[in-house]
Amino acid sequence: METPRIRKVVVAMSGGVDSSVAAALLVEQGYDVVGMMLRLWSEPGKEDLNRCCTPDAMMMARRVAAKLGIPFYVIDVREKFREWVVGAFIQGYMAGMTPNPCLVCNRRIRWGVLLQQALSLGAEWLATGHYARIIQDERGQFLLLRGLDTSKDQSYVLSVLGQEELRHTLLPIGEFTKPQVRDLARKFGLPVAERSESQDLCFLAGEDYRDFLMRHAPEVIRPGLIVNRRGEVLGEHKGLAFYTIGQRKGLGIATSQPLYVVDKDIRQNLLVVGPQEDLGKRVLHAAPVNWILGEPPAEQFRAQVKIRYTASPLDATVVVETPQQVRVEFDQPVRDITPGQRAVFYQDDIVLGGSMIISTSMR
């Protein structure tokens, strides 16, 4: 009699609650589970502070793997992370954008290097502790859905994935809420049940991103002039990277009417400010686009669009100008659309795709 083949899955373990519970669920479901942790970043003297891969996090992941009786490996990808992820972060600021490095990390490191490593080990899937879901539709296509716990939903950062990646991905905790995941951690007796949530970028080590830029890419920080739309000089800025669109505080200019950052003129190194009315934009232009199904659903479609990870979805019409370029027309003017961030298109729970915001316009 043929014995059923046990199917292998590599779990990306960070030492946190979510990926630990993901590993435990897969072990419980009978998969052949291998734990892998990525060493992404370390800075001399700050090893204990960097959120990812601190000695503490590594020990935690190792203890969870031991508790579950699964093999555990650490993969050193620090050079690639520095070049691709931190490099893109610095380049983004140099171009006057506000980049989201987690998206580059997901695309190139987790679903690049790590997925390849998993497949070459004979695994069929890479599993992570993201709050999102993957289902197959009646045509066999893989759909990416929001996590059931909408307050924790991480589908935004997975909008860089395509069919090939989704085919080889399992998201075991996407069906649970965070409190349920913590209960599961306790049920499985995992030493991580009470570990706190991580927030900021993993390589910042609690440091402000501006200080990080000053240390790693001082050339990005070039002081210049603050002007209004008419080009009148109102003050001086410390470097465009220090400001974000919509910012009001910290401009250091005294006027009777509150002024906001409404634009950055990279070529001339000018920070453009204006009254609140200047902030609302109806249209954003974005490229290149990742369509989850490989192509857009239509030449033009209605969607709910998120303009950053923590933003609420807003009603809009997405116009596909070329398969790699879209304009998004919002029903209402939107404040704080920030070039460099990602626009992600949803229809209810389904992620249709996402694209980097390049610019904004009134129409």
Check if the beta carbon of residue 113 is closer than 8 Å to that of residue 100. no
Q: Residue 58 or 316: which CB sits closer to ligand ATP?
A: 58
Q: Which residues bind to ligand ATP, rule: CB under 6 A?
A: 12-14, 16-19, 37-38, 40, 52-53, 128-130, 198
Token output for 250: 């910290």
42 is in an annotated binding site: no
**CB of residue 128 to ligand ATP, shortest distance in Å:** 3
**CB of residue 129 to ligand ATP, shortest distance in Å:** 3
Query: Cα(326)–Cα(357) distance, rounded to whole angstroms?
Result: 10
Token output for 218: 């001082």
**CB of residue 215 to ligand ATP, shortest distance in Å:** 22
19 is in an annotated binding site: yes
b/e 275-296 (16+ beta carbons within 10 angstroms → b): eeebbbbbbbbbeebbbbbeeb
Query: Cα(290)–Cα(205) distance, rounded to whole angstroms?
Result: 30
**Biggest distance spanned by C-alpha atoms of the chain:** 85
Q: Residue 182 or 327: which CB sits closer to ligand ATP?
A: 182
Q: Where are the beta strands (DSSP E) in the chain?
A: 8-12, 32-39, 72-76, 125-127, 132-136, 142-146, 169-170, 224-228, 233-237, 260-265, 270-274, 281-291, 300-306, 314-322, 325-334, 342-347, 350-361
Strands 8-12 and 125-127: parallel
Q: Residue 178 or 238: which CB sits closer to ligand ATP?
A: 178
294 is in an annotated binding site: no
Q: Residue 51 or 264: which CB sits closer to ligand ATP?
A: 51
Token output for 18: 């979510």
At 335, give phi and psi (nearest 5°): -85, 155
Catalytic residues: 105, 202
Instruction: Return the number of other C-beta atoms located less than 10 Å from residue 337's C-beta.
Output: 27
Q: For the chain, state the CA radius of gyration.
A: 22
At 129, give phi and psi (nearest 5°): -100, 35
36 is in an annotated binding site: no
14 is in an annotated binding site: yes
Token output for 303: 């969607």
**CB of residue 309 to ligand ATP, shortest distance in Å:** 11
Judged by DSSP in three states, 282 sits in strand
**CB of residue 110 to ligand ATP, shortest distance in Å:** 6
**CB of residue 362 to ligand ATP, shortest distance in Å:** 36
16 is in an annotated binding site: yes
Q: Residue 127 or 293: which CB sits closer to ligand ATP?
A: 127
17 is in an annotated binding site: yes
12 is in an annotated binding site: yes
Q: Residue 127 or 270: which CB sits closer to ligand ATP?
A: 127
Q: Which residues carry a binding-site annotation?
A: 12-19, 38, 129
Annotated binding site for ATP: 12-19, 38, 129
